[in-house]
């Protein structure tokens, strides 16, 4: 494959590196030059612009939205956008691409920078069945789980719905743990009970936000690393905006967005999203 890879951030660099290692030819572009040079040293070709990058590509992969390059891509070449955007916008861009003869997939990822480096990402793919069959082998060089969610837009839908629920669960755990400990129950005892009861959830049993409960989670290292509060806030913005456009209500989701906005403005923007617990704990 002659792949154009556009958008070389903290996720894009290791993802592109895994494609190079799998033997693909890569033409890369990013406004940040050092990132480009990293990959050129490993065998990629640097393009002068995004438009330039896609000219001779047989597949286009973007990590920052694909709208800008549509006009420059040859007819028939598939486009894969791996960034997280609003599902309805994803559908509109895919329709515009289809009108130019380019099949397009939305394929947002989860798994973070560690997953990008280890090629263990999960790709949630919205695409026709035939496009999915074409792109799956390429995505499998960067991830472990490549899931076909349905037609265009459903990859974004899966991602934002999961993250909507994740944000709500995390705040729920924060409220339950803060209330419980303020009433005198030991935090470890309470989390053990929750984790074997109907309150069980990933935010409690795998990623507990209360320091001292688990090791190897951001709460154990002052909320450094992980999934930043500002990124969760971005995804909640996408979810609530998608809900507005679809005419649906997300009442807890809307309040979760406000709480993550508050957390961001209280200095937690770059901390892991489980640091929302400190909003409650600080109130004590």
- Considering only residues 81 to 140 of the shown chain, the ones binding a copy of itself according to CB under 8 A are 87-88, 110, 122, 124
Query: Tokens 């990933």 sit at which residue?
Result: 202
Query: Tokens 């944000």 sit at which residue?
Result: 167
**E strand or H helix at 6:** strand 2-6
Cα 215 from Cα 164, distance rounded (Å):
25
Q: For residue 216, state whether it binds a copy of itself (rule: CB under 8 A).
A: no
Cα 277 from Cα 49, distance rounded (Å):
43
Q: For residue 187, state whether it binds a copy of itself (rule: CB under 8 A).
A: no
Q: For residue 180, state whether it binds a copy of itself (rule: CB under 8 A).
A: yes
- Considering only residues 227 to 256 of the shown chain, the ones binding a copy of itself according to CB under 8 A are 239, 242-243, 246-253, 255-256
Q: For residue 178, state whether it binds a copy of itself (rule: CB under 8 A).
A: yes
Kindly tell me which residue out of 105, 119, 177, 263 binds a copy of itself, with binding defined by CB under 8 A: 177
What is the DSSP track for 210-247?
STTS-SSSGGGGTT-SSSBHHHHHHHHHHHHHHHHHHT
Q: For residue 282, state whether it binds a copy of itself (rule: CB under 8 A).
A: no
Pull the structure tokens for residue 100.
Answer: 């130019």
Long-range contacts of 19-23 (CB under 8 A, 24+ apart): 19/61, 19/138, 19/141, 19/142, 20/44, 21/141, 22/141
Query: Least CB distance from residue 170 to a copy of itself, whole Å?
Result: 9
Q: For residue 157, state whether it binds a copy of itself (rule: CB under 8 A).
A: yes
Taking the least distance from each CB to a copy of itself, the nearer of 21 and 200 is 200
HEC readout, 11-57: CHHHHHHHHHHCCCEEEEECCCHHHHHHHHCCCCEECCCHHHHHCCC
- Among the listed ranges 29-37, 41-49, 96-104, 144-152, the one in contact with a copy of itself (CB under 8 A) is 144-152
Cα 41 from Cα 35, distance rounded (Å):
10
Q: For residue 162, state whether it binds a copy of itself (rule: CB under 8 A).
A: yes
Taking the least distance from each CB to a copy of itself, the nearer of 42 and 186 is 186
Active site residue 136: no
Query: Least CB distance from residue 259 to a copy of itself, whole Å?
Result: 6
Q: Which residues are catalytic?
A: 159
Q: Could you list the residues that contact a copy of itself (CB under 8 A)?
A: 87-88, 110, 122, 124, 145, 147, 149-151, 153-154, 157-158, 161-166, 168-169, 171-173, 175-180, 182-186, 189-190, 193-194, 196-204, 206-207, 239, 242-243, 246-253, 255-256, 259, 280, 283-284
């Amino acid at each position: 494959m002659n792949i154009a890879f556009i958008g070389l951030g903290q996720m894009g660099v290791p993802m592109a590196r895994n494609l190079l290692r799998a033997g693909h030819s890569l033409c890369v572009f990013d406004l940040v030059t050092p990132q480009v040079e990293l990959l050129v040293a490993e065998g990629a070709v640097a393009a002068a612009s995004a438009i330039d990058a896609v000219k001779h590509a047989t597949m286009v992969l973007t990590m920052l939205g694909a709208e800008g390059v549509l006009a420059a891509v040859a007819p028939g070449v598939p486009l894969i956008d791996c960034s997280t955007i609003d599902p309805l916008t994803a559908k509109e861009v895919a329709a515009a691409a289809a009108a130019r003869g380019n099949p397009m997939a939305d394929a947002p990822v989860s798994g973070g920078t560690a997953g990008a480096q280890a090629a263990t990402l999960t790709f949630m793919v919205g695409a026709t069945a035939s496009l999915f069959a074409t792109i799956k082998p390429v995505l499998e060089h960067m991830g472990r789980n490549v899931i076909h969610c349905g037609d265009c837009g459903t990859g974004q839908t899966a991602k934002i719905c999961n993250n909507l629920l994740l944000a709500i669960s995390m705040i729920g755990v924060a409220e339950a743990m803060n209330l419980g400990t303020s009433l005198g129950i030991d935090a470890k005892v309470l989390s053990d009970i929750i984790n074997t009861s109907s309150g069980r959830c990933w935010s409690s049993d795998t990623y507990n936000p209360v320091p001292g409960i688990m090791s190897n989670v951001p709460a154990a290292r002052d909320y450094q690393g992980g999934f930043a509060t500002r990124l969760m806030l971005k995804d909640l913005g996408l979810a609530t905006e998608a809900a507005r456009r679809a005419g649906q209500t997300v009442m807890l989701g809307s309040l979760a967005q406000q709480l993550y906005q508050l957390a961001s403005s209280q200095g937690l923007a770059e901390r892991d999203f489980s640091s929302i617990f400190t909003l409650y704990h600080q109130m004590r």
